[in-house]
Structure 1
Amino acid sequence: MDNRISTKFFSYLRAHKAQTFVALLIISGVGYYGYQKFTAKEVLPQYITAPVERGTLIVSVSGTGQVASSNQIDVKPKASGTVVRVAVQTGKEVAADSVLIELDDSDALKTVRDASVNLESAKLSLDKLKQSADTLSILQSENALVSAKDNLEKLKLSQTTDYEKAQESKQKALDNITKAYEDAFNEISNSFLDLPTIMTKLDDILHGQEIGKADKSIGSGYINTSTLINTLSNTTDDRTKIQPFINYAENDYSAARSAYNVNLLSYQTASRFSERSVTEVLLTETIETTKRVTEAAKSQTTLFDTWTDLRTLRNATDYQQVASKVAEYRANLTTYNGQVNGHLSNLLAVQRTLQDNKDAVVSADRDLKAMDQNNPLDLSAAEQAVKEKEVSLLKLKAGADSLDIQTQELAIRQRENALADARQKLADYTVRAPLAGVVAKLNVKLGDPASSSTAVATLIAKQKIAEVSLNEVDVAKVQVGQKATLTFDAVQGLTITGDVVEIETIGTVSQGVVSYNVKIGFDTQDERIKPGMSVSAAIITDVRQDVLMVTGSAVKSQNGQGSYVEMLKDGTPERRSVEVGLSNDSVTEVSGDIREGEEVVTQTITSESSNTTTQQRSGGSLFPVGGFRVGGGR
């Protein structure tokens, strides 16, 4: 039976060869993957490092061109100014670096003097810093500390005193406000002792019949204002003249009566135990009422004065009893007006006292709030001043520390650099011949303005000149006088140094690319070099000496958070922040928490990158080959 099963199985496999082959491939693949999955070892990343080195960093730009067939050079100044001296004549032969033109350098000379003074000041400060503190300086520092401590104690005392005074002022104002409300109700009450009588008398003066009763020829039945009209001459316009004054008196009395009625009701419903707001409203109403009453009394007085004046103008002698009654009313009105004005003055005084004390409370609250905010800050500042004086005294006794000295030495180097820059700018005001030759043309005379775009002279050089083309980015870094290295395709192994003697002002556009011609004068002459030969130039644009450098690939940045390098610690990269300075195609200047000789990571090799190459430097002379280290995460 087993033989029959085996025979059938192999017969099936022969009949389905293709399917069998595919199945075997799948089974083999799955098996191999599983074997690899369970037996594979973790591959750690590998790191290539290079040491941090100290040396000279050179940055240059390169260009190609030809040896010029013409040795004509336009000489342009590096600075701008007025020509104050022309040292050559047309056709005169000049040596290299001889003076051609001098410009007004007064401003640049002042800058040099200032930079020199600043440098001397920095040196004196360093000398003073290195000297031990003398007895007088220590005594002055001790006195400053004592003064700061005294000021702190005075501040504490004054803050306490001022705060208590502000609280007392507030409490006094609150007490005065309480008294002012009491005084206000008293004055209101005093006013209402007289106001009812006065209002009645004012009404009687206008609407009573006492004036008519005073003269038997008139008799009763006429109110006083009507009697006044009737006792004036009927043949003149006196009755018309007096009518407006009667109207004024009536209107003012009516206004006073309305205010009085409202005010009286408020007074009757209030008491000295009412809310302060009620008393304050009542005070305002009473002041308004007394003003209305005084105005009403004034209008009635004016009415009687007008009546008397009209009769006087007519020399009237009749109605003497009426005139006597008018005079009596006139005298009474003077009395009423004096009484009401007295009450009004007292009421306004109380109102003013009340407002002044309210303002005093607001001012006191404002002062207290300011003290709550500022006193702790002022106290903290005074305490900090004491601490600073204590530290200053300790530092003075201990002498300058190394960090202070290093800081001052750095300041001196900065001042020295500033002086060197100022002297260089001063030298730019003297235009010199970039190379030996003959002055073909002078383009300026005394008093003419000159600038970097002005060709002040044209030279026919005795030495060969190379013309190379630079793009607009590189030419911006080039200046007249910079050194250059020249090589030639036609003469293998020949290298000649030279100086930049002219930079084209206006570029040439070709297929959207702007280029500028730069002329370089040869330092040495070689008969093998002919006009028209191809030349390659490397112009040195910047040099930094004695700086720390790393290969360019070692410097990294992330999300604009500054630059850093990586150093291996126990096989794992660790970031170290650095400041980046000058750089060229192969290396970068760095500073910060980094030292010469430390190894920095320049390349990381992971398991995904099976083929990698180490980074090489052009020239191969600045750094030795970096070390190769293997590390991984812990």
Structure 2
Amino acid sequence: MLKKTLKLIWRKKILSGICLVAIAGTSYFGYEKLGNQAETKYITSAVEKGMIIQSVSGSGKVSSLNQIDIKPKASGDITGVYVKEGQEVKKGTLLFSISSTDAQKSVTDAEISLDSAKIDLEEILEPVDQLTLMQAQNAYDQAVSSEKKAIEDLSSSYEDGLSSLTSIFFDLPEIMTDLYDVLFGYDFGTSQWNIDWYSDTTQNYGGEVLKYKQLAENNYKIAKNSYDKNFDNYKNISGYSETVKIDALTDETHATIKNISETIKSMTNLVNFTKDILEQNGATIPSALLSQQKTLQDYTLSVNKILGTPTSIKRTIQNAKDAIPKAKITLMEKEKALEDVKNGADNITIRLKTLAVQQKENALLSAKQNLAEYYPRAPFDGIIADLSVEKNNSFSSGNAGATITTKQKIAEISLNEIDVTDIKVGQKATLTFDAVEGLSITGEVVDVDSIGTISQNIVSYAVQIAFDIDDDRIKPGMSVSVSIITNSKQNILTVPLGAVKTQGQTSYVDILKDGEPQKTQVETGISNDTLIEITSGLNEGDMVVTQTISTGGTTPSASSNTGNKNFGGSGSFNAGSGAVMRIIQ
């Protein structure tokens, strides 16, 4: 089957070359026009579905050896050995196995990812059902309501905040009045303030009370000034005030409460210090002192309770502010989603989902190829000459687990470090021989060196290819040319390589419209020396310009636009009557 396929490929290549020359000649002479009038004609080619084959070529010699080491690119414990030394094996025989739990999981995960990507693609390709449209409309309506509610919530948060500030200013006047009385009242006699009584009484017993007295008095003055200014600003605020003023009042109120809290703390320290000195000296504790101590304790609890209110107001307002832009973004997203549902998936979305499927397919293929490394098989018919693995022993990647001798001939070629990255064991190849004219056989890559050889600063890697058939005319040491198929795609849109040009990072082709070429942006896939895949931008049957022919006087000529340097150069040939046709290759 492989021979037939490869022969078919070569036959198609030859026939395609003949057809291209015939078409080019026909198109050119069909457009050729003698005369003195200058005229420009365009040669076009149809976008067709076909196959592109990518390959890597190299040369080497037929090996004089007839054995190969089996060196899996996997590590782990040997879970089974299925052959023994001296045993004759057929191509594909399982030789041994390596523990592959992680590799098997990778395959399973890749299969699940591929299924998910296919489902996503199928969903966007299906017509929109009424339920999906209704859900999208409901989501949009809800987003509209959410945005409206977010704006209303911000307004409510300011109203609630102002209400909470009002409650605070119901309590603060009484607190400030009582604090004043604690310091400057006459509870211990009519001749002196309470604060002076505390200091004088304690000093009589040698207490160092002055620092407590001074701190309490200073803190009270700070709190009083802060409170008076804050209260005036509060009286000028209403529900119609600008929000920035309410924000400022909230910050100011928080600072005032902190100052009052510090005042109560310092006053409590003064009272407690005095009480301790009196107790230490066996003096009677006045009832007024105990009463003031109780008052300060109550206000400590009250002030600490309202201390967090301004912070809570600010947090609520900020959360409401943050919710508005989020609601607007959500609304825009839902509006766009509703439009997308109504309009269906656009070409870009379909293309992205298609690419996602292709990526998952490639990932699955890679995972399966990696899993195969854990189950090395005989690359050809032969005899097990050496077996270096045992069950339950550990195995390291790149080591030889077995050696197989064979009557099959093996070609060994050398590839550079760039080309060898595309080469994998199991890839098919075609081989030709300088010494045997007309002989072309198929083969398969059976080994790729994991470590390169450096010569004159150039790294090269040996690749061994086993012949699928034997031919007595092929001798060890003969030169061989090998073409290894690294990738192929069937049933894809293709155009001649020279039809695609680039401008910056954009690829485009020229399509004739009303007799004039117009640029059409395209996305491309794989390519070889003659064809390139078109993944988006064109449809089957579209006509793309491949050549431009200019005629003038008696010497008609053909020319083309500058081609994509990445896709190859250009050449020319004479086309009769002195005409010159330039063909983008």
Bucket of the pairwise TM-score, normalised by the shorter protein: 0.5 to 0.7
* 2-structure distance, mates of 1:438, 1:586: 43
* 2-structure distance, mates of 1:166, 1:202: 41
- Specify which of 434, 450, 458 is matched with residue 489 of structure 1: 434
Give a deviation string over 1:139-179, Cα, whole Å, max 9, x none.
x9979988997898699679857854752452342353265
**Larger C-alpha radius of gyration, 1 or 2?**
1
Q: Find out whether 1:249 has 2:205 as its counterpart.
A: yes
What residue number does 1:539 align with? 484
What residue number does 1:526 align with? 471
Q: Relative to 1, partners in 2 of residues 1:567 and 1:130: Cα closer, same or farther, differing over 3 Å?
A: closer
Query: In the alignment, is the contact (CA less than 8 A) between 1:440 and 1:460 conserved in 2?
Result: yes
Query: In the alignment, is the contact (CA less than 8 A) between 2:548 and 2:558 conserved in 1?
Result: no
What secondary structure does 2:446 align onto?
strand
- Specify which of 385, 388, 398 is matched with residue 443 of structure 1: 388
* 1-structure distance, mates of 2:412, 2:532: 30
- Specify which of 154, 177, 183 is matched with residue 169 of structure 2: 177
Query: In the alignment, is the contact (CA less than 8 A) between 2:56 and 2:484 conserved in 1?
Result: yes
* 2-structure distance, mates of 1:380, 1:477: 46
* 2-structure distance, mates of 1:282, 1:102: 80
The AA in structure 2 aligned to 1:497 is T
Q: Find out whether 1:463 has 2:408 as its counterpart.
A: yes
* 2-structure distance, mates of 1:345, 1:42: 115
The AA in structure 2 aligned to 1:579 is E
Q: Relative to 1, partners in 2 of residues 1:142 and 1:348: Cα closer, same or farther, differing over 3 Å?
A: same
The AA in structure 2 aligned to 1:525 is D
Written as runs of structure 1 = structure 2, the 5 A alignment for 1:104-503 is 104-111=99-106, 160=152, 163-164=155-156, 167-174=159-166, 176-177=168-169, 180-181=172-173, 183-185=175-177, 188-189=180-181, 191-194=184-187, 197=190, 199=192, 249-252=205-208, 292=270, 295-296=273-274, 299=277, 302-303=280-281, 305=282, 330-331=283-284, 334-335=285-286, 338-343=287-292, 345-346=294-295, 349=298, 353=302, 357=306, 359-375=308-324, 377-378=326-327, 381=330, 423-450=368-395, 453-503=398-448
* 1-structure distance, mates of 2:357, 2:264: 82
What residue number does 2:88 align with? 93
Query: In the alignment, is the contact (CA less than 8 A) between 2:428 and 2:484 conserved in 1?
Result: yes
Give a deviation string over 1:89-132, Cα, whole Å, max 9, x none.
33333333333333344544455556666777888999999999
Query: In the alignment, is the contact (CA less than 8 A) between 1:174 and 1:361 conserved in 2?
Result: no
The AA in structure 1 aligned to 2:490 is Q
* 2-structure distance, mates of 1:282, 1:604: 90
- Specify which of 521, 524, 533 is matched with residue 589 of structure 1: 533
Higher strand share: 2
Q: Relative to 1, partners in 2 of residues 1:581 and 1:132: Cα closer, same or farther, differing over 3 Å?
A: closer
Q: Relative to 1, partners in 2 of residues 1:578 and 1:449: Cα closer, same or farther, differing over 3 Å?
A: farther
Query: In the alignment, is the contact (CA less than 8 A) between 1:485 and 1:496 conserved in 2?
Result: yes
* 2-structure distance, mates of 1:202, 1:411: 81
Give a deviation string over 1:27-52, Cα, whole Å, max 9, x none.
xxxxxxxxxxxxxx999998765543
Unpaired runs of 5+ residues, structure 1, are 1-40, 208-244, 306-329, 619-624
Q: Relative to 1, partners in 2 of residues 1:290 and 1:579: Cα closer, same or farther, differing over 3 Å?
A: closer
* 1-structure distance, mates of 2:271, 2:73: 93
TM-score by length of 2: 0.64
Q: Relative to 1, partners in 2 of residues 1:604 and 1:284: Cα closer, same or farther, differing over 3 Å?
A: same
* 1-structure distance, mates of 2:356, 2:111: 13
Report which stretch shifted further, 368-377 or 415-424. 415-424
Query: In the alignment, is the contact (CA less than 8 A) between 1:170 and 1:365 conserved in 2?
Result: no
* 2-structure distance, mates of 1:477, 1:405: 29
Q: Relative to 1, partners in 2 of residues 1:76 and 1:369: Cα closer, same or farther, differing over 3 Å?
A: closer
* 2-structure distance, mates of 1:73, 1:368: 76
TM-score by length of 1: 0.60
* 2-structure distance, mates of 1:422, 1:507: 25
Give a deviation string over 1:479-533, Cα, whole Å, max 9, x none.
2222221122222222122222233344333222222332222222222222222
Query: In the alignment, is the contact (CA less than 8 A) between 2:186 and 2:192 conserved in 1?
Result: no
What residue number does 2:57 align with? 62
- Matched residue pairs, number? 502
- Offset at residue 256 of structure 1 (A): 8.1
What residue number does 2:520 align with? 576
- Offset at residue 374 of structure 1 (A): 1.3
Report which stretch shifted further, 291-300 or 430-439. 291-300
Q: Identity, % of aligned pairs?
A: 34
* 2-structure distance, mates of 1:205, 1:581: 93
* 2-structure distance, mates of 1:79, 1:188: 85
Give a deviation string over 1:306-342, Cα, whole Å, max 9, x none.
xxxxxxxxxxxxxxxxxxxxxxxx55xx33xx21443
Query: In the alignment, is the contact (CA less than 8 A) between 1:174 and 1:357 conserved in 2?
Result: no
The AA in structure 1 aligned to 2:317 is L
* 2-structure distance, mates of 1:286, 1:109: 72
What secondary structure does 1:430 align onto?
coil
What secondary structure does 1:364 align onto?
helix
Written as runs of structure 1 = structure 2, the 5 A alignment for 1:562-573 is 562-569=506-513
Q: Relative to 1, partners in 2 of residues 1:292 and 1:580: Cα closer, same or farther, differing over 3 Å?
A: same
Q: Find out whether 1:510 has 2:455 as its counterpart.
A: yes
Higher helix share: 1
Written as runs of structure 1 = structure 2, the 5 A alignment for 1:12-23 is none
- Offset at residue 554 of structure 1 (A): 4.1
* 1-structure distance, mates of 2:340, 2:417: 56
- Offset at residue 448 of structure 1 (A): 3.5
What secondary structure does 1:548 align onto?
strand
* 2-structure distance, mates of 1:430, 1:204: 98
What residue number does 1:13 align with? none
